[in-house]
Structure 1
Amino acid sequence: MTATTRSNEPGKRSSSGRMIARVVWMSIKLLIIPVLCVAALIVGLAIGYVVLGDKPLSDVFDFNTWKHMYDLVFAEGG
């Protein structure tokens, strides 16, 4: 019996390597839009709150700031 030899050419990849590369590429393509949307939301909140509202940037990431805004918007009009 003779052992089969594998081709160690640098240009050829195994089928499992191609499958892993396709899965990684598809994951990147699926995640890029949500990641960009979240980044745009954070940048938009920061610009709007700091530039338009003349408030410090640290208040953008404070939970109590957004709770207060929620309470103002959805308050009962008495």
Structure 2
Amino acid sequence: MTEENSPAVKKRSGWITLLRIVLVLLFLVIALVGGTAVGFVVLGKQDIGGVFEWSTWQHVFDLVFAP
């Protein structure tokens, strides 16, 4: 193919790419928080307020990384 016959490559704007990255990260954080809350309440049968307490996460960290 020659230069004039090749298909045009569209160049995306930097703002669109940045917006997509931010939205993907935002949705990942929302999914993480939502999944943690649902698992804590449904599977753990605990109050939803406990999922956001530091002592809960300290306990989980101690369970995972116990010697």
TM-score, with length taken from structure 1: 0.63
Q: Which residue in the other structure is 2:48 paired with?
A: 57
1:1-78 equivalences under 5 Å are: 22-76=13-67
Higher RCO (CA 8 Å, separation ≥ 6 residues): 2
Q: CA deviation at 1:23?
A: 4.6
Give 1:25's aligned amino acid: I
For residues 15 and 60 of structure 2, the distance between their equivalents in structure 1, rounded to whole angstroms, comes to: 40
TM-score, with length taken from structure 2: 0.72
Identical aligned residues as a percent: 36
Q: CA RMSD in A?
A: 1.3
Superposed CA deviations along residues 26-76 of structure 1, whole A, max 9, x for unmatched, are: 321121111100100000000000000000000011111010111012112
Gaps in structure 2 of 5+ consecutive residues: 1-12
**How many residues are treated as equivalent by the alignment?**
55
- When Rg is computed on C-alpha atoms for both structures, the one with the higher figure is 1
| SS of residue matched to 1:50 | helix
Gaps in structure 1 of 5+ consecutive residues: 1-21
